[in-house]
Amino acid sequence: MPSVFSQNLNEFEIKRTRSIQEQLISNPEKAYADALEISNSKNELFSFFGKYHVASYFYSKSEFIHSKQLLIALIENIEKSDIPKSSKVYQDLMGMCVNKLFYIYKNLGEYDSALFCLDKYKKRLPNNHFNEQYGLIKVAMGDCVNGIALLKRELKTSPHLKLGVGEKKVMNKKLFADKYNIIGEAYQKYYIQSKKTVLLDSANYYFNVAATMMLQDDFQPEYTKALLCMREAKSAALAGNYVKSLSLYRKRKKYPVIHDNIRTEQLFDLGMADCFRHLTQVDSALFYCKKYIKNYQVTKVSKENLLMAYNIMTQCYSEKNDNKNAYLYAQKSLELIHSIGGIKNKSLNFLHNYDLNKIKAESNKIIASKNYFKISLFGILIILASVIYSFYYYHKVQKEKHYRFLKIIQNLRESQVLGINTTQINKTETQPKQIIDDELIEKIALGLKKIEQKKTFLDPNFKLAFVAKKLNTNTAYLSQYFNQVMQKTFSEYMQELRIQYILQKLIDTPHYRKYTLQAIAEEVGYKDANTFVRVFKRQTGLSPNYYIEKLKN
């Protein structure tokens, strides 16, 4: 039986779909009821719009899995229908469905699926939509410079649509406000990479432009203000001003409307948990983390944010000396990192191949013109040389890292078999003239040996004055001993002991490899993971993560 099909919607149908689109924001339950009704229309095209808005309703409720299933089924039905593929209405409907499906995949952290979705339906999407979505994935993968450039280009080239039947000006303005907010969030991600304060200024600028656009038309003023507050609070936290950030997050009490949007409430909870952790209010941090994780079971949005919550809980439980829970969330963090890493690797491969194909297509286009043959050939050679050199350099670096790793293992085995103290003095080298006498040298050497045997160097307070007191001498003599006898500074001596200890510990005790870098850092006397990573790289030429991964393999 042939389907009943109208190539275009009539005026009443257009107004009805526009009304539902608006009500999805202001009165979602009424929108859902109306969308269900028209999804059963005898006009196949009208029913497709109804089904799209049903899927949009579940999207707005953060029921992404169900929304995804509805959209995939709808896209298949649209493609099987009699709607001419060249018609504007077909392209608009397909564009809406693919766009919504892309954002579902992105929100779920399934970047590889989002990219494959884009690639599969690229011809169905307007170019400006594709650029925005491609730019979003670039930012998510860490390429903020090119990602932001694409988002800005899309913003400049997006036409300010003429209002159609039943369309309101404010809905068109909301479209552009969303674009400004997306760019603002991209600048926040860029700041995390570069730590340039000006990027947070740019982020806040775009957030304020978006909010102003909405408030001028009195569009959801309470919710708009709440979102601006939340975004500025995140900027303050990124800048390290956790007191200011927390005061902004606490303004949530003024805007009870956020309870209607579970994802927004999640972001407030996670932001407050982060602030409380940095302000050493451990119980409050745990309370908001638990709230966030509970809501995550509903939304499943953003694996990166979930990882942040796990990390906060690991550190908080560690501070409370609750080793069982600290270990539990450290394990969850590692499993999630592995999952995110796998998805990102697939996505990076896609981006790499897509960029190469794009360059190839552009080069072929230039080659078609005789005037540009030499230029294009030269450009292709440069690109090929760059790609070849990149692979060569990558493999060279990996080979050097592997050699360093093997050398470390060999040295550790030799030191265990022969009982060599890796920090001992090299007697074969010519020693400079000594200012302190031999008796004091022997006394200090014996004292240091006992300290090393007791692993006192793992104490966070292991400093020159601390050691001098232990050896019953003064810091001046001790400093001279290190500089003149051991020919290294006290700091170098301490770092060598700590790194040699953890290198061996990670071999001997496999469960240590599951700890977070923060936990490992604290194990060897460092207060934060960044300092530990810096010292580890200086001592070994490798990152702790690389060393641990090689041991696992």
The structural domains of the chain, with segments of one domain joined by +, span: 1-128, 434-552
pLDDT of residue 144: 83
- Decide: 97 and 75 in contact? Cβ < 8 Å: yes
pLDDT of residue 359: 47
- Decide: 6 and 46 in contact? Cβ < 8 Å: yes
Name the architecture of domain 1-128. Alpha Horseshoe (1.25)
CA 322/CA 62 separation, integer angstroms: 34
pLDDT of residue 348: 54
- Decide: 58 and 67 in contact? Cβ < 8 Å: yes
The pair of three-digit structure tokens given for residue 202, joined into one six-digit string: 């740019």
CA 389/CA 469 separation, integer angstroms: 55
Q: Give the distance between the most distant pair of CA atoms in the chain.
A: 106
Segments in the chain below pLDDT 70: 1-7, 122-130, 158-171, 340-381, 383-395, 414-436
CA 500/CA 508 separation, integer angstroms: 12
Amino acid at 29: E
pLDDT of residue 73: 93
The pair of three-digit structure tokens given for residue 196, joined into one six-digit string: 């340039």
pLDDT of residue 288: 93
- Decide: 81 and 3 in contact? Cβ < 8 Å: yes
Neighbours of 213 (CB within 10 A): 18
pLDDT of residue 227: 93
pLDDT of residue 166: 45
Q: Is 287 exposed, middle or buried (0-12, 13-18, 19+ CB in 10 A)?
A: middle
> Looking at the domain that runs over 434-552, which CATH code has it been given?
1.10.10.60
Which of 213, 238, 242, 241 is CA-nearest to residue 227?
213
DSSP class of residue 484? I
CA 241/CA 271 separation, integer angstroms: 12
